[in-house]
Amino acid sequence: MKLQRRGLVLDGSGVIFAELEALGLAGWAFQMVSTIDAALKALSRDPAIIGLVAFDSPHAWPAAELDQLLARPDVEWIALLEEGLLRGERLSPEVLRNFHDFHSLPLDRARLGCTLGHAHGKAALLRSEVGQCSDLGAYGMTGSSPKMRQLYRQIDKVITVDAPVLIGGESGSGKELVARAIHRYSARAHGPFIAMNCGAISPGLIHSELFGYERGAFTGASQRKVGNVEAASGGVLFLDEIGDLPLEMQASLLRALQDRTITRVGSTERLHVDVRVIAATHVDLARAVSDGRFREDLFYRLNVVRLKVPALRERVEDLPALAQQVFEECRGKGAQARGFSSAAMNAMMAHSWPGNVRELRNRVQHALVMSDNRLLTPADLGLVEVVGSVDSTLGERRTAVERELIEASLKKCRNNVSATARQLGVSRVTLYRMIDRLKIVL
């Protein structure tokens, strides 16, 4: 029996899907979803490599949400639309930019069959190029390395429970992406997702940001403000860099989590909240507890389920697919580049990525803006081209490239560590750690 090819159809009304089913295209099985959120969930559970989007008007789908769906590198998308919509000012550029092809209505069996076949063939070729037959990732994340597969298995379990989650991992590794995935695929998906960076708010404002305040509570409080805990009720509160939360605020947060109630500043009313807390940190909270910098009782309250996001250097086999995804997402209309040169890919594979995926995105975005080359080079990415003995190990090459890049950046910034860290896209603490490990003399 010939294996059926699968297609996902996004159709808000179901009318076009019914016409498609009536065609009875041999060798094809189609699944219909009516919302973009449902499409993302369907692709995460059982990825299809062909997607069809039905348009009954130029504004059929919210642009930002549609862009998120079309950004998936493992799916070839086809637009199904009335012929007149192609002449619209908004829809035409979108179709040309984001879709593999379009099919104007009414549906034609022969013409649509050719379009589907071509798209399926292209998608299969693209997947074979990155060494994956059917699985480039899950939960909106790219990567099929052993460590990423382990993370996906852990998320499979986490989304079925409503317990607090503590996510560890280096800066820029994608901790917020994991938190958003847990929210999107859990029972709280229809509730809000409120993110708060505990290290980016001054200590004097954190209490108000968390719990809110009443009008007149203090000078400048001209109207009531709903705090992040209250705003997240029914959904998820994501506390990034929880290790930077001041000790006095840790006690207040613990009390709110235990009692499931809060009190706004300037009020005596206790408000019930139903919120799932997902916290993230790049520091060792167990050591912070031992050092007296983090409350032990709050640590155990948050550390019910523990996830670890691997650093990019720990899953270097994911880099080709991840770099291509970032390239497609960041490429603007004026970009000259059409891909990466082999030298650029070798340089990326040899680099240790201290800034992880955030650094990768920054380097690719900068290169796309500044480069005039058809294929991006190591120089475009700010990386040193990998040269040397073929007998040297990958680890030795990475160390040599990393040392050369840091030394060159330090020289350019006149040994100003803060300026060098900004140029490299890493934190100052991370840069000091690398300087110490590589024994670089300042």
Q: pLDDT class for 311, splitting at 50, 70, 90?
A: very high
Q: pLDDT class for 73, splitting at 50, 70, 90?
A: low
Structure tokens at 212: 């809110």
Of the ranges 25-29, 175-179, 196-200, the best mean pLDDT one: 175-179
Task: Tell me if 260 sits within 8 A of 212, measured CB to CB.
Answer: no
Structure tokens at 330: 């960041």
Q: What is the pLDDT of residues 22-49, one digit of tens each?
A: 888 888 888 999 999 888 888 877 767 7
Q: List Cα–Cα distances, 217 to 3, 92, 214, 220, 264, in angstroms.
A: 67, 52, 5, 9, 9
pLDDT at 91: 65
Average model confidence (pLDDT) for the chain? 84
Map 289-319 to HEC letters.
HHCCCCCHHHHHHHCCEEEECCCHHHHHHHH
Domains, the chain, with CATH or none: 5-134 (3.40.50.2300), 141-308 (3.40.50.300), 312-438 (1.10.8.60)
Q: Which of the two residues, 413 and 396, has the higher pLDDT score?
A: 413
pLDDT at 389: 43
Q: Which of the two residues, 393 and 76, has the higher pLDDT score?
A: 76
Of the ranges 10-14, 161-165, 210-214, 425-429, the best mean pLDDT one: 161-165
369 pLDDT above the threshold of 70: yes
388 pLDDT above the threshold of 60: no
Match 């705003």 to its residue by tokens: 231
Q: Lowest mean pLDDT of 80-84, 233-237, 279-283, 316-320, name the range.
A: 80-84
136 pLDDT above the threshold of 60: yes
Q: What is the pLDDT of residues 263-280, one digit of tens each?
A: 888 888 889 999 999 999
Map the chain to HEC letters.
CCCCEEEEEECCCCHHHHHHHHHCCCCEEEEEECCHHHHHHHHHHCCCCEEEEEECCCCCCCHHHHHHHHCCCCCEEEEEEEHHHHHCCCHHHHHHHHCCEEEEECCCHHHHHHHHHHHHHHHHHHHHHCCCCCCCEECCEECCCHHHHHHHHHHHHHCCCCCCEEEECCCCCCHHHHHHHHHHCCCCCCCCEEEEECCCCCHHHHHHHHHEECCCCCCCCCCCEECHHHHCCCCEEEEECHHHCCHHHHHHHHHHHHHCEECCECCCCCEECCCEEEEEECCCHHHHHHCCCCCHHHHHHHCCEEEECCCHHHHHHHHHHHHHHHHHHHCCCCCCCCEECHHHHHHHHHCCCCCHHHHHHHHHHHHHHHCCCCEECCCCCCCCCCCCCCCCCHHHHHHHHHHHHHHHHHHHCCCCHHHHHHHHCCCHHHHHHHHHHHCCCC
pLDDT at 68: 74
Task: Tell me if 80 sits within 8 A of 107, measured CB to CB.
Answer: yes
pLDDT at 267: 81
pLDDT at 390: 43
133 pLDDT above the threshold of 70: no
Please give the Cα distance from 64 to 27 (Å, whole number). 33
Strands 76-82 and 50-55, bridge-based pairing = parallel
154 pLDDT above the threshold of 80: yes
| Mean pLDDT of all residues in 187-202 | 91
Please give the Cα distance from 196 to 228 (Å, whole number). 8
Structure tokens at 370: 């500044």
Q: What percent of the chain has pLDDT over 70?
A: 89
Task: Tell me if 366 sits within 8 A of 379, measured CB to CB.
Answer: no
Could you give the angle at the alpha carbon of 323 between the alpha carbons of 317 and 324, nearest 5°? 110
pLDDT at 89: 59
129 pLDDT above the threshold of 60: no
Name the pTM for this structure.
0.59
Q: What is the pLDDT of residues 203-255, one digit of tens each?
A: 888 888 899 888 877 777 778 888 899 999 999 999 999 999 998 899 999 99
| Mean pLDDT of all residues in 16-24 | 89
Q: Which of the two residues, 88 and 314, has the higher pLDDT score?
A: 314
Task: Tell me if 74 sits within 8 A of 47, measured CB to CB.
Answer: yes
